[in-house]
Amino acid sequence: MFKKISERKIYSRLIMAVLITMLLAGSVLASGHVQSDNPKYVFFLIGDGMASSQATLAEYYNQFENLEEPNHSYEEHGESFIDMTTEEHSDRLMMHRLDFAGSTRTAGSFTLVPGSAQTATSLATGIKTDRNTISLDVNDNPVKSVLMAAKEKGMATGLVSTARITHATPAAFASNVPDRGMENEIAAQYLENKIDYLAGGGARHFLASSNENSKRKDDRNLFEEFANEGYEVFESSADTAAFRDYMPMAGDRVLYTPTMSHVSYEIDRVNKLVPSIAEMTQKGIDLLSQDDDGFFMMVEGGRIDHAAHDNDVAATIHDTLAFDDAVKTAYKFYLEHPNETLIIVAGDHETGGLGLNSCEGMEYDYFMDLGPIRDIKVSIEEGFEYTGDRAQVYTDLKEDFGIEKLNDREKEMLENAMDLQDAEGSGANVMDFGGYWPQASWISPVQSTIAHITSKRSEIGWTSSAHTGQIIPIRSHGAGAARYNDSMDNTDVANITAELLDVELN
Ligand SMILES: [Zn+2]
């Protein structure tokens, strides 16, 4: 039977429709402008190996450093050396002052504890893949990254890293290879893909094989090829002054590789002729922001991960703080373009199983002592080496690590490590003498032992020399940033970003 809608119902629906329209129009008028959800400028900053523990430790250390009278003494002051009762912490990390915070699951295709190629592929392309794969799916089909999709849309693109620029994280945004070790191919694909701005370590993958430092297997000189394609090329630290003086013009393309391999750890870099990650980010802004279609720039704090693999507490902190300076650089740009800029600050996975307090056995303490970290002047991997001269080790401990005297237990650990290294070389592992702590494969038993002595003095613990599988935070700010305020998978980050940019990934 035909059911007649009453006139009264039609009338009330009409009124509702008019009211809704008025409400929508009113909210637009009231705000004066529409906060766009479609960003024109995108910063995708990734702290490699950075989870909440790395960022928390760096923030506490930063606050501790900024105290007028920092006090080292745990005996006197215990854990009370940062006043947490005040509302304002202007010395909080920039990443912790952004508007939105969410979380990302990091597991890979068939692994709970992921690799960097895997997580970078997920963050860049929105799919899960195998541990060492760069932007190919599990059936080896290439997948498009959000950076490449942004490029097809006309946006300018940039990659910055403190690791080699051909390392896994940047690679996933602008290349497709079955193994992350194919860094020569990755470098060549950057040229094919015409990435507008490339700044980071890894000159060895661009040099012709005739150069003794080259890692290339062919005779291609990529520096020459980039230059022939119109790139401004700055190929070594000797070009750093020229890089700094260079004023980018609209449409320029730039390749800058100040180091053969990774850029030095921040704690060591400050004495060298290599710009900081923030400075490399700023130069990228100077160039890419001249494009009328906007830009997509990925910035990686690549060595937080390496420092955490080494279980090197000071190097981890300083690289995290340097990464946060790059976040600040992005934020300054946001302040000039608040309605059009999106900042995403992610980690890819946790490294080291970093624990903020490492009491053992029958101890029952609740504290960290950040004081001893202030006295560390070098990274353990690059700034310290055991050459067989034991007296020198004790001098280095004093001068570079601020350790005047070892206690009996520390001394036994160190002497055991030196015995082992004398007998079996730097490739030996501390487990060979019963050392119970993790040791990264590329550092020596003595280096690893110093890493654990210095960490333990601050009550910092490490459960691993590799990655761990925890869920990690993501922060965001600006146009579309609210979309990341969620409990997500790392693949969601790429997919949401693609939606905001109105581009298709695959
Ligand atoms: Zn990683």
Q: Per residue of the chain (506 residues), give pLDDT as tens.
A: 444 445 555 556 555 655 555 555 444 444 444 456 899 999 999 999 999 999 999 999 998 887 765 544 444 444 435 556 555 556 899 999 999 999 999 999 999 999 999 999 999 999 999 999 999 999 999 999 999 999 999 999 999 999 999 999 999 999 999 999 999 999 999 999 999 999 999 999 999 999 999 999 999 999 999 999 999 999 999 999 999 999 999 999 999 999 999 999 999 997 788 999 999 999 999 999 999 999 999 999 999 999 999 999 999 999 999 999 999 999 999 999 999 999 999 999 999 999 999 877 666 677 888 989 999 999 999 999 999 999 999 999 999 999 999 999 999 999 999 999 999 999 999 999 989 899 999 999 999 999 999 999 999 999 999 999 999 999 999 999 999 999 999 999 999 999 999 999 97
262 marked as binding residue: no
- The verdict on residue 127 lying in a domain is yes
108 and 232 within one domain: yes
Structural domain count of the chain: 2
Angle subtended at Cα 306 by Cα 121 and Cα 297, rounded to the nearest 5 degrees: 45
207 and 107 within one domain: yes
479 and 443 within one domain: no
- The verdict on residue 21 lying in a domain is no
Cα distances (angstroms) measured from residue 33 to each of 26, 37, 336, 340, 347: 12, 12, 16, 12, 33
Q: Quick check: helix, strand or coil at residue 400?
A: helix
Closest CA to 92 of 63, 51, 67, 68: 63
Ligand 1 midpoint to CA 24 (Å): 44
48 and 165 within one domain: yes
494 and 429 within one domain: no
Ligand 1 midpoint to CA 179 (Å): 15
242 and 140 within one domain: yes
Ligand 1 midpoint to CA 278 (Å): 19
107 and 63 within one domain: yes
Query: Structural domain of residue 234, as residue ranges?
Result: 41-353+466-501
Query: What is residue 77's predicted lDDT score, i.e. its pLDDT?
Result: 41
Cα distances (angstroms) measured from residue 85 to each of 55, 56, 80, 115: 20, 17, 11, 39
- The verdict on residue 444 lying in a domain is yes
- The verdict on residue 358 lying in a domain is no
- The verdict on residue 23 lying in a domain is no
Ligand 1 midpoint to CA 351 (Å): 8
d(CA 470, CA 234): 39
Ligand 1 midpoint to CA 16 (Å): 52
Query: What is residue 33's predicted lDDT score, i.e. its pLDDT?
Result: 45
d(CA 453, CA 314): 12
Contact 121, 135 (CB under 8 A): yes
338 and 234 within one domain: yes
- The verdict on residue 22 lying in a domain is no
Domain at 230, CATH number: 3.40.720.10
- The verdict on residue 292 lying in a domain is yes
Q: Which helix or strand (DSSP H or E) is residue 472 part of?
A: strand 472-478
Ligand 1 midpoint to CA 286 (Å): 28
478 and 438 within one domain: no
314 and 237 within one domain: yes
Residue 229: other Cβ atoms inside 10 A: 13
470 and 453 within one domain: no
- The verdict on residue 491 lying in a domain is yes
d(CA 229, CA 394): 53
CA R_g for the chain: 25
476 is catalytic: no
What residues have CB less than 8 Å from 394, skipping those under 6 apart?
none
387 and 319 within one domain: no
300 marked as binding residue: yes
349 marked as binding residue: yes
Which residue among the candidates 31, 53, 73, 116 is catalytic per the annotation? 116
